[in-house]
Each structure stands twice: as C-alpha cells, then as structure tokens.
Amino acid sequence: MKIGSIDLGERPIFLAPMEDVTDIAFRLLCKQFGADMVYTEFISSDALVRFVNKTTQKLTICDEERPVAMQIYGREVEPMVEAAKIVEAAKPDILDINFGCPVKKVAGKGAGAGMLQNIPKMLEITKAVVDAVNIPVTVKTRLGWDSNSKVIVELAEQLQDCGIAALTIHGRTRSQMYTGEADWTLIGEVKNNPRMHIPIIGNGDITTPQQVKEYFDRYGVDAIMVGRATFGRPWIFKEIKHYLETGEELPPLTFDWKMNVLREQVNQSIDRLDERRGIIHVRRHLAASPLFKGIPNFRDTRIAMLRANTREELFTIFEKIIAEHGQAEASL
C-alpha cells in the first residue's frame, strides 16, 4: 500500500492522532513495537499561524519515527493554507486534515467533524491545502454528522476529486461521539466503490489482533488505524503484527515486561516535559491500561498510582504492584 510515493507495505497498521496522547515519546514507543505510520497530535491552524508556543512545539518530529503524518484542523481556508505551508516546512512525510474530531470545542466551532455540516467549505479547504503543498495530503473524517446524514460514500469521491492521497474513516457519526459501536459497513462501501482509487484506512473500536485480520478480510481496507486501544498498551502493535504475519497469537508478554514498558513511558514523558507535567500527562495511559484489570483489591493501589506526584513515588507503587502480582501468580 502506498500513500503518494511512501510505501507502507502490506496491511499496514497506523497509530491514530490523539490530542494529549500522541506526543513524540509515545509515537516512538509505538513505532518501536511495530506501528507502520504514526500521527502527531492535531494542530490548530489558527494557533499555528499565530505561532503559539504550545502549538509550534507539536511540529517537532524525528527521523526515527518516520513515516510520520502531521495533522491540522481549522474552519477557514486562508489559515489552513498558511498552516499547511508551516507544517510542510517541518518536513513530515504526510499532511493530514482533521475533519473528524467530534469534541464540542472543535466541532462546535465548525472545525473538525463540524465541517460535516458544511461540505462545500470542507471541499474548498481540502482543494486549497492540496494545491498549497508538495507533500501528500490526506483526510480523516467520520460517516457523517448524524444518523440522518451519513454522507461518507459520496463525500469520499468528492474528497478524492480534490486531490487527496488517502482517506481515513472513523466508523461513527459526529453525534455519536465515541458512544455505541463503530459501524464499518460504510467504510467497506467506500472501499468497494469502483470510482475510488486512493487508499482507504479504517478506524474505530479496534482492540484485538483477531479483529484487525477480520476487518482487513471483511471490508477490504488498505490500512487500519488504532486509537484508544493503545492507551497503556503500546505493545498492541507487536501483538497485531505477529498475528497478521503468523496467524497465531503472540506468546504472552510477561507482566514484568509490560510494567517495564510503562516505566519507560513514564521516564520519556518526564524527560520531555518535567516531573510534574510528565506524570500528569502519562496518567491517562495508566488509568486506561488493561494491564491492571482483574488484579484483586486493586482499587486503593490504583488511586495511589493516579495521585502520585513524583517519579520515585510512582515507581515505588509500580514495584509494589509487581511484587503483589508475583505473589498472586505463585499462589495459583
């Protein structure tokens, strides 16, 4: 599968762009475990053209994470074009446009998935950005605004006509936010549309390697993007890749090995930010990690883990978790 001239191999797996999640440290970790392409956190075009410091920091990428896509969002043509040129100067492999973010502070202002209520403006922005840069431009969007306006099959053709190099579709409408189940049937319809020739990337509710293979086979997508299932589990890419290559589940990774990965993630987060902000940043991953599910009487330890304010305090709790898990295993 290729996006522009970038060869991503057969059945590639991507790390989804996620705000406050896919910083450079986490992208590198997912790349280490087999992600074929990673995406930055989304970047506000309005903030970027004003060179807001926190926003320009998101332009930092490194060669070890390539191929890497940088994602922007906005609701007006001129700042989106200007932002696209700034992003291109940062030298990502791909520029992605976010027309899918459903959160109120983005979609409620007409950007992200809000553009699904103004298709002509969405197409105008897309065409202008494609014409403004020399790197491949891709789009990520949803099925439609709500259940009465699932426009993605026609919209995909229109976006392709604007010159995009690939399209990622999340299998929900904006009104669904992240509730219910992702519906991949329309993603499959887009892929099977004989008019479509660009790669189609499926996204939504991917949590297991078996599901990845099933969705590749059933819907025929060119690539699959994994989002929330990576929280506290960046090794999911290792599990998926092994299953796609062998048809067998990866031999179980040890609890200690997984804890060491989380420890590495904490260290990277602290090194990138500082101790206080780094620990706050990584709490989302610790809270969502499936690693701690099923541990008996874990509630108090979990609360302490998510309240820890220093590396030493957090790692002391990690050691306690490892010791208690080892004792529980020994008693079985």
Catalytic residues: 101
Return the CA Rg of the chain.
20
Asked if 228 and 205 count as a contact pair (C-beta separation under 8 A), the reply is no
Q: Where are the alpha helices (DSSP H) in the chain?
A: 24-32, 45-49, 53-56, 77-89, 104-107, 119-132, 152-161, 185-192, 209-219, 236-246, 255-272, 275-288, 299-307, 311-331
Asked if 167 and 137 count as a contact pair (C-beta separation under 8 A), the reply is no
What whole-number distance in Å separates Cα of residue 227 and Cα of residue 205? Answer: 8
What whole-number distance in Å separates Cα of residue 272 and Cα of residue 164? Answer: 33
What whole-number distance in Å separates Cα of residue 226 and Cα of residue 240? Answer: 10
Helix (H) or strand (E) holding 69: strand 68-73
CA 212 vs. chain centroid, Å, equals 15
Asked if 136 and 166 count as a contact pair (C-beta separation under 8 A), the reply is yes
Largest CA distance in the chain: 65
Asked if 156 and 193 count as a contact pair (C-beta separation under 8 A), the reply is yes
- The answer to whether the Cα torsion of 280, 55, 206, 223 is positive or negative is negative
